[in-house]
Amino acid sequence: MLFAGGQGTSTDLATAIRFITEAVAPTWHGPVVLNISVGATTGSTPPEVASAISEANSRGLGVALAAGDSPGGSGYASMAGQAMVVGALGPNGGVASYSPTGGVNVFAGGGENLGSTNVGTGIISTYTGGQYAWLTGTSMATPHVSAALALLMSTGLTNQQAYQRIEATENPGGGLRVDRALGSTGGCGGAPAPPPPPAPVRVAPVQAPPVRVVPPVTAAAPAPAPASVQTAPPTSAPTPVPTAAPTPSGAPYDESSHPLVPEPGALAAGALTPPTGFQAILATTSAGAQTESGRLSLAAAAGFAVAYGAGLALHRRLAPVRA
């Protein structure tokens, strides 16, 4: 739902949520979970986005929201009862330095940027050009919770029951524990695994195969900036684009603080002033000539003007004769 550069508006996000809720979910055989790794620049949930999330929740969709990458309260705090607002944990298991803590339902691994690098301390994720990279942020933590919701809802739990199960099985600090959440479902709804057969009395020694340690994957592309998430940085500097004022409710961003981009064809307020005088006549004539009906109207007006001018000239020439 974002443009190529990673920008979008709150209306774009609300439209995407409603499309899944109203067009996709009714025909989908199984649970539907929304992973929304998009924040809000206003510090609160835009009304149109809140309405779309409420509709998704009422129709039984699971929703996981990235809490944002600024300490304090999450911009999605008001949605904590209708979705799972997800904060991030660092490599040591504590809350990541960039993660909000207010209005958060659960925390999951989001990584940390230490020593100006994400390598070894972030989350390995797909990257541009068919590569992988280390990334950090609540956008990296949210998919863990989305997957947990999908597993739980596939057992027959409703979205609200899945939310409650996750919160009831968290660590004391609020960390996600998928193993605990799934423990009472028989392995994601399946029958409990049969007990293992008894071990033989004698076991012949077996030569263990050599263990090959695979080195961790590192990004071939540039590492994202601190607390960067979701959208990979461009490999070359993009062409600057003029920013447009956000809507009154605010516009979401992809947690990399990208500037807002006006929608195609949109004009900033006050960019043009209405023409007056002869310029207004030219502008009206030019606009009218762009349609078939406009061209017919202009032709009729031109014909009338010619006839009126000819009649006026004839009247002036006959006036002395009558005198």
SS3 assignment for 16-34:
HHHHHHHHHHHHCCCCCEE
Among 72-81, 156-165, 283-292, 313-322, name the one with the lowest average pLDDT: 283-292
Predicted model pTM: 0.59
Report angle CA 314, 317, 322 to the nearest 5 degrees: 110
User: What's the CA gap between 110 and 116, in Å, rounded?
Assistant: 16
For residue 104, count CB atoms less than 10 angstroms from its CB and return exposed for 0-12, middle for 13-18, buried for 19 or more: buried
Residue whose C-alpha is closest to residue 13's, from 42, 106, 30, 237 = 42
Look at residue 206 and tell me whether its pLDDT is greater than 70: no
Among 55-59, 115-119, 136-140, 166-170, name the one with the lowest average pLDDT: 115-119
Look at residue 158 and tell me whether its pLDDT is greater than 60: yes
pLDDT tens-digit readout, 179-205: 999 985 444 444 444 444 454 444 444
Look at residue 209 and tell me whether its pLDDT is greater than 50: no
2 vs 208 pLDDT, higher one: 2
Q: Please state at what angle helix 10-19 crosses helix 47-58, rounded to 10 degrees.
A: 10
pLDDT of residue 301: 65
46 vs 199 pLDDT, higher one: 46
Query: Beta-carbon neighbour count of residue 3 at 10 Å?
Result: 16
| Contact present, 7 and 258 (Cβ < 8 Å) | yes
Residue 253: enclosing H or E segment and its boundaries?
strand 252-253
Helices (H), the chain: 10-19, 47-58, 138-153, 159-168, 178-183, 277-288, 292-322
